Amino acid sequence: MYFNMKWPGLEDVVVTKTEEIGEAFYLHVEVPRKSHRCPACGERTSRVHDYRIQKIQHLKVFERTSYLFY
């Protein structure tokens, strides 16, 4: 499914999945990788030490509480 609606505050993310469970609306999002500077050696890298899914409460969507899984 292709969906091009702009979500407030989520212009730079890719929505991978949406779910409606009970009275809640769940958005699964990903952020494109960017290179950054290593704090130890100062070289540019795109590697990250930890990838944890974080559940964040967001604005109401369609009068339902919404959560982001980032």
pLDDT (mean) for 62-69: 81
Residue 42: partners with Cβ closer than 8 Å, 6 or more residues away: none
The number of folded domains in the chain is 1
pTM: 0.62
Residue 50 has pLDDT above 60, yes or no: yes
What pLDDT score does 3 carry? 57
Classify residue 8: in a domain, yes or no: no
Write the DSSP string, 10-69. Answer: -TTSEEEEEEEETTEEEEEEE-----EE-TTT--EE---S-----EEEEEEETTEEEEEE
Residue 66 has pLDDT above 80, yes or no: yes
Classify residue 59: in a domain, yes or no: yes
pLDDT (mean) for 24-30: 86
* Neighbour count for residue 61 (Cβ, 10 Å): 18
Classify residue 20: in a domain, yes or no: yes
Classify residue 7: in a domain, yes or no: no
Residue 35 has pLDDT above 70, yes or no: yes
